[in-house]
């Protein structure tokens, strides 16, 4: 069941990402949710390939951010050494290992698991690129964590990058019954970032399942005791040590701010 939801979610995301125009992309995203949406400057003209046009006709150079492998240069934001110094590779004990996390594990040292940072770096780059694109398209981003030690820091990060955070008890129908819960027509987030995918009783956070139900893409830091199946962009890594969470928050904030600043630049060029 969860596999089907995940494949649907991924296909949906892929389809939407393949769309060529910025305006189309943003329209398709928002049409999935409630009618009220932030007015996007959909008039951002997409630069057509100069090859298609006739020679001699002066065309403005148009860049399609979706076609660029790293439009926001998020790949340069961190190195494997940075991850290592922030203790991202440390996992729980073998007894708490989730079967689905086995591909991401480098090995175990006397019962303590070690996460493969080369894989983490790859997944983190993908996630940061996606976050930057969502921020570029004026998407709403929601940070979610139930890890009490780091929850205040996550809230502060969300505030600093102008996005939202939910680090308290998650009432059942926040996504699935939003209009009833909030009493008015609501716009759901376009991306949910999990700094910890488990809740206080070591069960998967309800928001993971609900985001998949509502077709909201998710980025999540998955530790060795988490289930990465329902998360669109899982990032295997340590989610318990404060210095690791601080590193993730810093990277996510930088990616979001890069996306937003690029947006401003593009709008000014019009």
* Whole-angstrom distance, CA of residue 230 vs CA of residue 8: 11
* Whole-angstrom distance, CA of residue 202 vs CA of residue 210: 17
Q: Contact with other proteins (CB under 8 A): which of 75, 87, 209, 260?
A: 87
Q: Which residues contact 110 (CB under 8 A, 6 or more apart)?
A: none
Q: Contact with other proteins (CB under 8 A): which of 40, 66, 86, 90?
A: 90
Interacting stretch for other proteins, rule CB under 8 A, among 114-122, 126-134, 189-197, 209-217? 114-122
Dig out the tokens for 190 from the structure.
């376009």
| DSSP-based three-state secondary structure for 3 | helix
Q: Contact with other proteins (CB under 8 A): which of 1, 4, 51, 110?
A: 110
Name the residue nearer to other proteins (CB basis): 150 or 232. 150
Shortest distance (Å) from residue 129 CB to other proteins? 21
Dig out the tokens for 65 from the structure.
């951010």
Name the residue nearer to other proteins (CB basis): 57 or 110. 110
- Closest CA relative to residue 3, chosen from 262, 228, 248, 252: 228
Q: Contact with other proteins (CB under 8 A): which of 12, 186, 241, 266?
A: 241
Name the residue nearer to other proteins (CB basis): 41 or 112. 112
Backbone φ and ψ of 158, nearest 5°: -60, -40
Maximum separation of any 2 CA atoms in the chain, in Å: 69
Positions touching other proteins (CB under 8 A) are: 79-81, 84, 87, 89-93, 95-96, 106, 109-110, 112, 114, 116-118, 202, 225, 238, 240-241
């Amino acid at each position: 069941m969860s596999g089907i939801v995940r494949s649907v979610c991924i296909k949906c995301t892929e389809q939407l990402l393949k769309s060529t125009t910025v305006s189309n992309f943003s329209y398709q995203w928002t049409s999935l949710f409630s009618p009220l949406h932030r007015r996007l400057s959909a008039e951002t003209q997409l630069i057509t390939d100069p090859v298609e046009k006739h020679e001699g006709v002066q065309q403005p150079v148009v860049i399609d951010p979706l076609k660029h492998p790293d439009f926001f240069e998020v790949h340069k934001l961190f190195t494997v050494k940075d991850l290592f110094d922030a203790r991202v590779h440390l996992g729980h004990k073998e007894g708490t290992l989730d079967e689905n996390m086995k591909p991401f594990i480098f090995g175990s040292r006397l019962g303590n698991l070690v996460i493969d940072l080369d894989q983490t770096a790859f997944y983190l780059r993908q996630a940061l690129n996606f976050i930057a694109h969502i921020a570029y398209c004026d998407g709403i981003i929601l940070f979610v964590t139930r890890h009490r030690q780091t929850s205040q820091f996550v809230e502060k990060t969300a505030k600093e990058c102008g996005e939202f955070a939910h680090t308290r008890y998650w009432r059942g129908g926040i996504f699935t019954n939003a209009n009833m819960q909030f009493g008015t027509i609501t716009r759901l987030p376009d991306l949910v970032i999990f700094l910890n995918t488990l809740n206080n009783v070591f069960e998967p956070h309800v928001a993971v399942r609900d985001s998949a139900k509502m077709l909201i893409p998710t980025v999540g830091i998955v530790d060795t005791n988490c289930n990465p199946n329902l998360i669109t962009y899982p990032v295997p890594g340590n989610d318990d040590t404060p210095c690791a969470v601080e590193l993730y928050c810093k990277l996510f904030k930088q990616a979001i701010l890069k996306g937003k600043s690029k947006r401003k630049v593009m709008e000014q060029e019009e």
